Amino acid sequence: MTATVIDGKAFAARVRGQVAEQVARLKAEHGLVPGLAVVLVGEDPASQVYVGAKGKQTVEVGMISVEHKLPVDTSEADLLALIAALNADAKIHGILVQLPLPSHLNSDLVINSIDPAKDVDGFHISNVGLLGTGQKAMVPCTPLGCLMMLRAHLGKLSGLNAVVVGRSNIVGKPMAQLLLGESCTVTIAHSRTRDLAAVCRGADILVAAVGRPEMITGDYVKPGATVIDVGINRIQRDGKTRLVGDVDYASAAAVAGAITPVPGGVGPMTIACLLANTLTACCRENGLPEPVGLTV
């Protein structure tokens, strides 16, 4: 079997189109323009690429983009003061603090200082709790993007076996919550899981969020399964820098029913969902109806 490729790049372009349409309507009918502030501390080159891409796409869908680039030695007090100012700024509806933060900063404290209504990453403890209890939350962008692709490809997910490899707060855990919300039977695997390959072979839906290049090979995949590769790993191969996922694409695609590529899979959907969440936050903050087709 050769797997169907789930084209995240094309899917993300459609999501951005839907966002742009609804942003235009918000402007015409209510005079509102959603605003997203991205805060980057330090000069990690990969982070700068993401922040640049986010800013460009934010403007393309008609929203306001504000970038705050702070020096690597920024104090916690200064960062908290900036977040307090953004919380109080009526033109800003979404705030994203790029992670990881330099080690002298307490990222839990920083994230939890964001107004939960503006927490478009969905990392604030209030949003984590709301998602975990099945209430209306801001949903983390990467898992939201994965869920949108799964729904589009599979339709109803109810009753399917889902295995999420990875238990981070930003990907693995919220992904598992969303799949549980879809009535999947969910297993969360991690570095202590025994016989990971056998656990993964039980999955109708296999989500890899590990951070280990090409670890999930074809022998981890149930024939016909849907494989979502969240991993973004920069490796050297044949003297060139290449981007690969956590899934060994060639061997997995030979067994799977459908698979997301890297690049061009989950990554572009993450940014599209960030824009969707900013629109959602703007609507909620102004007591307007939820955007159509862009929330869980």
Ligand X SMILES: Nc1nc(=O)c2c([nH]1)NC[C@@H]1CN(c3ccc(C(=O)N[C@@H](CCC(=O)O)C(=O)O)cc3)C=[N+]21
Known binding residues for NADP(+) are 166-168, 232
Cβ partners under 8 Å of residue 159, min gap 6: 183, 184, 185
With binding defined as CB under 6 A, does residue 212 bind ligand NDP? yes
Q: Pick the piece of the chain touching ligand NDP (CB under 6 A) from 37-45, 82-90, 102-110, 164-172.
A: 164-172
Among ligand X, ligand NDP, none, partner that 96 touches (CB below 5 to 8 angstroms by kind): ligand X
Q: Pick the piece of the chain touching ligand NDP (CB under 6 A) from 106-114, 122-130, 148-156, 229-237.
A: 229-237
In this structure, the number of other CB atoms found within 10 A of the CB of residue 191 comes to 10
Among ligand X, ligand NDP, none, partner that 252 touches (CB below 5 to 8 angstroms by kind): none
With binding defined as CB under 6 A, does residue 263 bind ligand X? yes
56 by Cβ neighbours in 10 Å (0-12 / 13-18 / 19+) ranks as exposed
With binding defined as CB under 6 A, does residue 210 bind ligand NDP? yes
> For residue 163, what are the β-bridge partners?
187, 206
Please say if 54 is a catalytic residue.
yes
Among ligand X, ligand NDP, none, partner that 35 touches (CB below 5 to 8 angstroms by kind): none
Cβ partners under 8 Å of residue 172, min gap 6: 164, 165, 166, 188, 190, 207, 209
Q: Taken in order 249, 156, 275, 93, is the CA torsion positive or negative?
A: negative
Identity of the residue numbered 262: V
Packing angle, helices 266-285 and 8-30, rounded to 10: 20
Among ligand X, ligand NDP, none, partner that 230 touches (CB below 5 to 8 angstroms by kind): ligand NDP
Among ligand X, ligand NDP, none, partner that 295 touches (CB below 5 to 8 angstroms by kind): none
161 and 155 in contact (C-beta within 8 Å)? no
**Which DSSP state fits 247?**
B
With binding defined as CB under 6 A, does residue 191 bind ligand NDP? yes
**Which DSSP state fits 123?**
-
* Helix, strand, or coil (residue 234): strand
Using alpha carbons, select from 67, 68, 69, 59 the residue that is nearest to residue 34: 59
Active-site hit among 22, 54, 177, 229:
54
Question: Which residue lies nearer to ligand NDP by CB, 200 or 283?
Answer: 200
Site string for ligand X, 136-175 (x = CB under 6 A): -----xx---------------------------------
Please say if 195 is a catalytic residue.
no
Active-site hit among 22, 57, 98, 177:
98
Per DSSP, the chain holds a count of helices (H) and strands (E) of 10, 11
Question: Which residue lies nearer to ligand X by CB, 67 or 199?
Answer: 67
Site residues, ligand X (CB under 6 A): 49-50, 96-99, 121, 141-142, 232, 243, 262-264, 267-268, 270-271
- Which spans of this chain sit near ligand NDP (rule: CB under 6 A)? 142, 165-168, 170-172, 189-193, 196, 209-212, 230-233, 246, 266-267, 270
